[in-house]
Amino acid sequence: LGQLLSTRRDLIPPDLLEQLTLLQDRVPPFSYDEAKARVETSLGTTLEAQFARFDVQPLAAASIAQVHTAALHDGREVVVKIVRPNIRPQIIQDFEILTWIGHWLEVRVEAARALHLSKIIEDYRQVILNELDLTLEAANTMQMRHNFLGSSMMYVPEVYSSTTDVMIAERIVGAPVSDLATFERLGMDRAKLAEKGLTIFFTQVFRDNFFHADMHPGNVFIETINPAEPRFIALDCAIMGELSDNDRLVIARMLLAVIQSNFTQLIQIVHQAGWIPQGTDQNALTRDMRRVVSPMISKPMDQLDFAGILMQVMDIARRYHLEIPPQLMLLIKTLVHVEGLGRDLYPQLDIWKLAKPILTEWISERMNPMKAIRDFGQQLPDLLMGATDLPALMVDSLHGLRQQGAWQDKQWRELQQLRMDIIQMRRRDWLAGSGFIGLLAIATQSPWPIACIMIFLAFTVVLWRVLI
């Protein structure tokens, strides 16, 4: 939370912002002896055997891990990321508290229920626990590196090796994205940088469906080797986001509807996605959404109160009981990071003007009939392989239906027999009851010897009914 707030210069007072910025990469480090022991235990060898040089002072220290610079014996400069000792129990304890708070709020606060707060906390708990396994981060980094291999927009460092607790990766040369003074000194085009950053975000979400979800300034650097054509550098790929194809299409269509100021279509898209409960006044919802979102259109970042608008949108979601899927909250968090970074780099950036062609092209590609044909062609081998089993499956299905039909016939006959048995039982009950009452009536009006016989016959009738 502190890292997220540290990107919001528009919300946080400067003195508090300065302190929050320390959470990005300047958390108090653990000792060199602990780092050395953890590396040697994890790698199964001595520090001297693995590295030609291992610097005592950490380059950066964050909440989950800290980073030391080092050199391999072949001369390559590397960074060594080491998970903090005993951090897992602390995280588990923290999330036990958060989970309790989430459940407490869901019971009492309607907005918390609408946001599926407990599910969001559970998802985030899993995300944070995954950060403790550096093999997952290594795999994410390699995937991101593959996605942007040869890109002029972003560079992802190479991972050389990884265990659960230690990862060794290429050392990069660059400046944090928040180091505006360096960019000015090198004569970098900050407007171009901001455009690249936004394009990278949309590329990750819509082209790759694999987006960096922890883009605070401690994890985003700018190459300084070539100031005329600088690239972004992505670090710490521990938290990555993915969405379903349908969610991506819904989000893209929603954003495009906002850009086009078509709020009726926006609400229709949200309704089709199943986020609007039955009985909602969609006309009123459209009016409220237009009132809140319209000021965003065609305005540069420095004229937008993005966080304020986002809060108003969330308030609308609460009032109209909109069901926001929990998986979208990670994307919203990332969008807040990206908007904050873009605001710092180039406040005059027109985010909607840049986004429109990207979204239009992606939606056109998704809706293109040729893509449907290509997708069908890709699935055709699986369909053909499945077709060979079709006759056997049909025979099995017919056999199953035949057995089911026979079972249903048997059940029907048994039900009919049961029905007849019940009717017959009722007749016997009526006869026995009538006979019992009639015999008792005769007994009450007869001399003693005959009365005894009538009573005996009455109980004989009852015994007959019980036994039959």
Measured distance CA(364)–CA(372) in Å, rounded: 12
User: What's the rounded Cα separation, in Å, for the pair 11 and 302?
Assistant: 13
Q: What is the pLDDT of residue 210?
A: 94
Please give the pLDDT value at position 78: 98
Q: Which of 25, 165, 214, 344 is flagged as catalytic?
A: 214
The pair of structure tokens assigned to 432 is 């026995």
Indicate the CATH number for domain 24-85+133-241.
Answer: 3.30.200.20
pLDDT recorded at residue 375? 57
* pLDDT at residue 410, as a whole number: 64
Helix or strand or coil: residue 175? Answer: strand
Q: How far apart are CA 457 and CA 432, in angstroms?
A: 11
Task: Report in angstroms the alpha-carbon separations of 431 from 360, 440, 463.
Answer: 84, 14, 13
Q: Give tens-digit pLDDT for 281-318.
A: 999 999 999 988 887 776 766 677 666 777 788 788 87
330: exposed, middle or buried (Cβ count in 10 Å: 0-12, 13-18, 19+) = buried
Beta bridge partners of 212: 240
Residues of the chain with pLDDT under 70: 1-14, 17-18, 21-26, 298, 300-302, 305-307, 326-327, 369-468
Q: Is 382 exposed, middle or buried (0-12, 13-18, 19+ CB in 10 A)?
A: exposed
For the chain, how big is the Rg over CA atoms in Å?
36
pTM for this one?
Answer: 0.71
Determine the pLDDT at residue 316: 86
**Cα gap 162→133, rounded to integer Å:** 10
- What is the bridge-based pairing of β-strands 166-170 and 154-155? unpaired
Q: How much of the chain exceeds pLDDT 70, in percent? A: 71
pLDDT value of residue 397 = 61
The answer to whether residue 214 is catalytic is yes
CATH 3.30.200.20 intervals, the chain: 24-85+133-241
Please classify residue 65 by burial: count the beta carbons closer than 10 Å to its beta carbon, then call 0-12 exposed, 13-18 middle and 19+ buried: buried
Distance CA 167, CA 31 (A): 18
Q: Nearest to residue 51, comparing CAs of 83, 29, 73, 67?
A: 73
Return all residues near 7 (Cβ < 8 A) that are at least 6 apart.
Answer: 216, 217, 336, 337, 340, 341, 344
- List all residues 6 or more positions away from 312 whose beta carbon is below 8 Å from its beta carbon: 292
Structure confidence at residue 84 (pLDDT): 94
State the sign of the Cα–Cα–Cα–Cα dihedral 286, 292, 296, 301: negative
* pLDDT for residue 460: 66
pLDDT more than 90, % of the chain: 36
Going by C-alpha positions, the residue among 105, 72, 334, 74 that lies closest to residue 204 is 334
pLDDT score of 227: 92
pLDDT digits (tens, 9 = 90+) for 344-365: 888 888 787 888 888 888 888 8
